[in-house]
Amino acid sequence: MIERAVGAFLLALGILTYFLGPYTGATDLLVAVAVAAVVGLAVALWLRPSRSRGEGEAEVFDVRATRRAVRRGIFRSAVVAVVWVAVAGFVLELGSAAWQTRGGREQRLENLAVRTFAAAHPGFRRPDVNGSGTSLRSLDLTLKAEPKTASPLVQPVEVKLHFDLRGRLTDYPLTDLPLTGVDVAAAAASFTSKRQVRRVLDRLPAAVVATANVELRHPTTIAALFRLLTRQGITFPYTDDIAIYLEPEFGRQRVSRRFADAQRVSWPSPSLAQFQDWVKTLHSSDDQVLDRLGLPPTRALRTIATRARVYGLVLDRATPVRLRGFLADPEVRMVQLGDIAYNVDRSP
């Protein structure tokens, strides 16, 4: 009985570890051990040997009959084992798919992935979901994101995400992202002056566009930001090429982020209300996903959403005329140029 209990306990613990992934804390491990112990005890009680109330008369031993019985038993055991494995696999597949798509879970994880990636990577245009599906142990999601570069011939990248049964990312999916124009602009921020930027803009032909970061003199409200955009000829319906920074340029590095080059929290459009509404849907259980996609935890995002200040902008494929307008605006501290390329189809 003890052997059966130990065997069932180890098997149950192994199955739980296989499906739920590595344990992130002592609480998760203790819960798994407790569940496995209950399973082990139940199996031991179920399979405990029954006590015979009496013994019958001894029968004559038949060697041939015994051999035939052994062969039949082996064959039947093998067939039963195969059938049970097939049935169990089918049931687990259906159960896993039902569990992972319950209550709109798939749509929530898609929304979480798209919004998190967009807020953590201002160098990419808002990603699209390029495919999703469930497997026995995970929900697989593919994002298609286009880097912000001045060239119109940029190739989009695919980011493959794998969520386990608890809604956590199983790997680090952002290790091979390409360099964007926003990355170039951020790298040039430490050694570019406003006068140098003006000289570069004065020498640029009108047929080029550039990716640029616009740093504001002071953190501003969304109303003041719209007044700035209106002065530059950008009205609210035409703001798809504008992203906003919700943290200062040289903010404190957060130890909660895995990547040292994680950028500031941003939003892919000036609609700050969308960011605030999205943050309200987050839970502390999303922190692992936020961290691996480059954002601080939920508590920090709620603080940013409550404060609601804009520190800068990302201009996507802006003309020299527009860049000079931002550079001359009294609310702008600096315009940081990224990559520059010809685009004759772009109007000022």
Over residues 199-219, the mean pLDDT reads: 90
Phi, psi (deg, nearest 5) at residue 299: -60, -40
Q: How is residue 157 written in tokens?
A: 């990248």
Percent residues over pLDDT 90 in the chain = 28
Cβ–Cβ < 8 Å for 12, 40: yes
Q: What is the 3-state secondary structure (H, E, C) of 20-55?
A: HCCCCCHHHHHHHHHHHHHHHHHHHHHCCCCCCCCC
Q: With the C-alpha atoms ordered 315, 320, 321, 326, is the resulting torsion angle positive or negative?
A: positive
pLDDT tens-digit profile of 260-285? 445 789 999 888 889 999 999 999 98
Total-model pTM: 0.74
Res 286 pLDDT > 50: yes
Over residues 246-255, the mean pLDDT reads: 64
Q: How is residue 175 written in tokens?
A: 């290790």
pLDDT tens-digit profile of 1-12? 666 566 666 666
Q: For residues 268 and 248, give the distance between their C-alpha atoms in angstroms, rounded to a whole number.
A: 16
**Domain range summary for the chain, segments of one domain joined by +:** 1-46, 105-164, 181-342
Q: How is residue 297 written in tokens?
A: 């935890």
More confident residue, 31 or 209: 209
pLDDT tens-digit profile of 90-124? 666 666 666 666 667 788 888 999 999 999 999 99
**189 — pLDDT class (breaks 50, 70, 90):** low
Res 340 pLDDT > 70: yes
Helices vs. strands in the chain: H and E counts, helices first: 11, 8
pLDDT tens-digit profile of 301-337? 999 999 889 999 999 888 999 999 999 999 999 999 9
Q: How is residue 273 written in tokens?
A: 């209300």
What is the number of alpha carbons within 13 Å of residue 126 lying toward its C-beta?
13
Give Dmax over CA atoms of the chain in angstroms: 111
The helix/strand/coil state of 9 is: helix
Listed residue (321, 339, 322) closest to 152, CA to CA: 339
Listed residue (319, 317, 311, 307) closest to 348, CA to CA: 319
Sheet containing 128-134: which strands, arranged edge to edge?
A: 128-134, 138-145, 157-164
Average pLDDT, rounded, for the chain: 78
The helix/strand/coil state of 141 is: strand
The helix/strand/coil state of 190 is: helix
Q: With the C-alpha atoms ordered 7, 93, 171, 111, is the resulting torsion angle positive or negative?
A: negative
Q: For residues 332 and 287, give the distance between their C-alpha atoms in angstroms, rounded to a whole number.
A: 34
Cβ–Cβ < 8 Å for 270, 244: yes
Question: How do beta strands 138-145 and 157-164 pair?
Answer: antiparallel
The helix/strand/coil state of 122 is: coil
Amino acid at 216: L
Q: For residues 135 and 28, give the distance between their C-alpha atoms in angstroms, rounded to a whole number.
A: 23
pLDDT tens-digit profile of 68-86? 777 777 776 666 656 655 6
